[in-house]
Amino acid sequence: MKSISYFLATIIIFTVFSCNRRSKDISLTSPDLKSQLIFSLKDGKPVFSLMKNGKDIVLSSPMGFEIKDFPNLDANFVIIGEDFSNSDHKWEQPWGETKTIRNNYCELKVFLQTLSLERLKMNIIFRLYNDGLGFRYEFPEQENLKEFKIAKEETQFILPDNGYAWWIPAYKPERYEYLYKKSSISEIDTVHTPLTIETKNGWFLAIHEASIIDFPSTTLFGFDTNKIGCDLVPWKNGIKAYVKTPSFTPWRTIQFAEKPTDLITNYLILNLNEPNTTVDTSWIKPGKYVGIWWGMHIGQYTWGSGAKHGATNKNTMKYIDFASKYGFDGVLVEGWNIGWDGDWIANGSIFSFTEAYPDYDLKKLTEYAKSKNVQLIGHNETSAHIDNYEAQIEDAYKLYESLGIKYLKTGYVGQKLFNGEWHHGQYGVRHYQKTIELAAKHHIMLDIHEPIKDSGIRRTWPNLMTREGARGMEWDAWGTDGGNPPNYVPTLVFTRLLSGPMDFTPGIFDLEIPLKPNNQVNTTLAKQLAYYVVIYSPLQMAADLPENYSNKPEFQFIVDVPCDWEDTKAINGEIGEYVTIARKDRNSSDWYLGSITNERPRDLTISLDFLDDKQDYEALIYADGVDANWKTNPYPLDITNCTVTSKDSIIIKLAPGGGQAIRLTPIN
């Protein structure tokens, strides 16, 4: 009888909804009327496609999820409703690479229901911009689906051709810290996002995601020449995600442009995050810092206690004095807390986040820093033992708040988290979110290393200032492959940096590595200066030892350059080749320009038409000197100045592996 009843119920449902099972195209057009999204059901399966100016960006691609213990949410659907809306407004970042962002989109919400007896509901929300698309899945509150487990995401991006992709592998021991490979789409591994693609029909694409909250991050894999599938980072038991209704997934995003530099100033990821509604931003300040850090990487100091211990009272006070003299906002000190002795990566369970080594007086040093108008920056390395960290985190953050420590760098070195979970699965995402919210409660700004990738949640939680999430400068000190090659940052700008700020730690002036004679910092000196403009971070480090800046006139550029911007212009660039970026200071009328190249020398003609056309400017230029070369002669640097206007163009000469940095100051 039960089977007969089930059969009759299914027939009734099919009869009621059969008129909706036909293939029905629902079209959404972008605000500029040039882009078009088409959603439809094909035999009950949801698919979408995307085009602009009549050219395909994404061909008809499947959507949905395979779930456990219930009918899957990828087929057997009918459309039970649709809703259109649009929005066009501007909002201001409290800090950022640009102050004002326009959020202009057209939205389609499709309401779906399965034909199964359970009549499960899932909605898909599309937001189409002039230069990008975001879509997310909504699991609404419903009687027959309270909690469920996702076994697989079925979302795909079927591209018009087998173009080129720039990628780093996922599920590897070094997390996001790999050199980028360029290959055809058909040759990519399972990879992290953002995934940057150049199609043969003329598009530059970046596939990523926005607003990762209580959901695993998404990796991508290629198959069948031009198809890209989504793979959610799993729990160690194989489950992809534990979901309760009502809830949303992160936004799946695709940014598109006809030239790669337009991806740099595309703010889709930020726009798809919720506005900040809970955090008072009056105490949140961008800044530059120095620190007891590079000395450990080059072998001058140790993190652990002993004769070469870096985090001592005497050494820290020296750094505080240096920061105060040159107007830096903070001093980072690593190795201050008990737990660094021995194999600290394996023994992360013994770290204390409140108890200092005997030669480091936390209270005395914070008071000394305050007297010098400098912030002491806290440091919490967990070695991925987040059980130990979470047991202490409330007490630690209370202590830091009581001492006036407002900046905190955290770290999660380790292939996986302590219990075998991935950093980037739902378990890790929940932990990172917990630290962000707790830090906001205690008025602490975060710089996260070994993080979950940036998905724009800094808009919602602006105390999350910056993060690592790629190979930084330290790889030049000890990387067994010789460090980051000259084409690395010209690639990074068009890949990892599309997701958000990075604490790359530039500013190395002594480009040789005594600890590893086969290593060096693989740039010219001028390129180190250009990094401060090219690589965006609201917290920027002058990473070298203070003594290496002594009597170096080029250090003035690091002293001068801000890290909070009114506007950003991506002037020119090709992925992995070169890039030029100009930024306007948020707190003055000055502009700064940075240009870098790979191992090839270049002459670039740069129009200054972004300047105020009613104003003359002094251009203070820090350029590669005669015969400069990243490999054989990295130090030559020329400092010159001239007067320019918005009608002028300048020729930038870049040495192999070189760069140029320019400060443009209005002349009264």
* Residue 507 is assigned to a structural domain of this protein: no
Assess whether pLDDT exceeds 90 at residue 20. no
Determine, yes or no, domain membership for 620.
no
pLDDT tens digit sequence for 367-388: 999 999 999 999 999 999 999 9
Q: Is residue 438 part of a domain?
A: no
pTM above 0.85, yes or no: yes
Residue 6 forms part of a structural domain: yes
Max Cα distance, the chain (Å): 91
CA 289 – CA 316 distance, rounded (Å): 13
What is the three-class DSSP state of 124? strand
Beta strands 247-248; 77-92: pairing state = unpaired
* Contact of 497 with 204, CB cutoff 8 Å: no
Q: Is 588 helix (H, G, I), strand (E, B) or coil?
A: coil
pLDDT at 668: 85
**pLDDT-derived band of residue 192, with 50, 70 and 90 as boundaries?**
very high
| Residue 18: per-residue pLDDT | 36
> DSSP states of 143-194 as a string?
TTBSEEEEEEE--EEE-SS--EEEE-BSSSTTTT----EEEEGGG--SB-S-
Category of 389 on φ-ψ map: left (φ > 0), alpha (ψ -120 to 50) or beta: alpha
pLDDT at 17: 40
End-to-end CA distance of the chain, in Å? 91
Q: Are 114 and 120 in contact (CB under 8 A)?
A: yes
Residue 77 lies in a domain: yes
Asked if residue 275 lies in contact with residue 282, where contact means CB atoms within 8 angstroms, the answer is no
Query: Does pLDDT of 494 surpass 50?
Result: yes
In a domain, 553, yes or no: no
Residue 515's pLDDT is 81
pLDDT tens readout for residues 79-102: 999 999 999 999 999 999 999 999
Q: Which percentage of the chain shows pLDDT scores above 70?
A: 97
469, 471, 476: which is closest to 515 by C-alpha?
476
Query: Tell me, what amino acid is at 215?
Result: F
One-letter identity of residue 647: K
Q: Is residue 141 a part of any domain in this protein? A: yes
Q: How far apart are CA 147 and CA 242, in angstroms?
A: 7
Q: Is the pLDDT of residue 22 over 60?
A: no
* Per-residue buried b or exposed e for 153-172, using 16+ beta carbons within 10 Å of the residue's own CB: bbbbbbbbebbbbbbbebee
- Is 187 annotated in the active site? no
Q: In this predicted model, what pLDDT tens digit does every residue of 473-485 receive, in sequence order?
A: 999 999 999 999 9
Q: Percent of the chain scored above 90 by pLDDT?
A: 94
Residue 277 lies in a domain: no
Half-sphere exposure of 183 (CA within 13 A, CB side): 17
Mean pLDDT of all residues in 32-53: 97
pLDDT at 10 over 70: no
pLDDT in tens, 388-416: 999 999 999 999 999 999 999 999 999 99
Which tokens in the block code for residue 390?
């979470």
- Determine the structural domain holding residue 133 and report its residue range: 2-86+102-262
Confidence grade of residue 63 (pLDDT, cut at 50, 70, 90): very high
- Nearest of 246, 234, 204 to residue 57 by alpha carbon: 204
Of the candidates 404, 335, 353, 343, the one whose C-alpha atom is nearest the C-alpha of residue 375 is: 404
Tens digit of each residue's pLDDT (9 = 90 or more) over 253-285: 999 999 999 999 999 999 999 999 988 999 999
Task: Report the C-alpha gap between 473 and 521 in whole angstroms.
Answer: 8
CATH of the domain at 130: 2.70.98.10
CA separation for the pair 583, 590 (Å, rounded): 9
Number of domains in the chain: 1
Q: Is 8 a residue whose pLDDT tops 70?
A: no
SS3 state at 620: strand
At 562 the three-state DSSP class reads coil
- Identify the pLDDT of residue 279: 87
Lowest mean pLDDT among 10-19, 245-254, 260-269: 10-19
Q: What pLDDT was estimated at residue 23?
A: 56
Q: CA 633, CA 656: separation in Å to the nearest integer?
A: 10
Residue-level pLDDT at 514: 84
Average pLDDT over residues 157-163: 97
What pLDDT digit, counting tens, does each position of 421-477 carry? 999 999 999 999 999 999 999 999 999 999 999 999 999 999 999 999 999 999 999
| Strand arrangement, sheet containing 241-244 | 65-67, 147-153, 241-244
Report pLDDT for 13.
39
Give me the catalytic one of 97, 474, 566, 577.
474
φ, ψ of residue 529 to 5 degrees: the values are -70, -45
